Chain A
Amino acid sequence: MRVPLKGLTLSVAAALALIACGKQEPPKQAAAPAAPAPAAAPAPAAKPEITVKIGHSAPLTGPQGHLGKDNENGARLAIEEANAKGLEIGGSKVKFELLGEDDQADPKQGTLVAQKLVDAKVNGVIGHLNSGTTIPASKIYFDSGIPQVSPSATNPKYTLQGFKTAFRVMANDVQQGKVLGDYAVHKLNAKKIAIIDDRTAYGQGVADEVEKAVKASGGQVVTREFTNDKATDFNAILTKVKSKKPDLVFYGGMDAQAGPLAKQMKGLGVPAKLLMADGGCTTEFHKLAADAAEGNYCSLPGVPLDKMPGGTDFKNRYKAKFNADIQLYAPYVFDAVGVMIDAMKRADSVEPAKYLPELAKTDGYPGVTAKIQFDDKGDIKDGAITLYQAKAGKWDPLDTMGGTPVAAAAAEKK
Chain B
Amino acid sequence: MLARTADHLYWMSRFIERAECLARMLDAHYRHSLLPHTADVLARDWRATLASLGVLDLYLARHGTLQPDTAFDFLAFDREHAGSIVSCWRSARENARAVRGTITSEMWETLNSTWLEIRQYESDHADHDSGDFLEWVRYRAHLSRGVTLGTMLRDEAFRFTRIGTFIEGADATARMLLARAHGSPGPSDDAAGPDAYGWTLLLRSLSAFEVYRKVYRDAVTPRRVTELLVLRDDLPRSLGRCTSEIYQNLREVANDQSAETERRAGSLYSEFHFGRLEQLLAPGLQSFLYGFLAQVHDLGDRIAQDFLVPPVLI
Partners in one complex: no
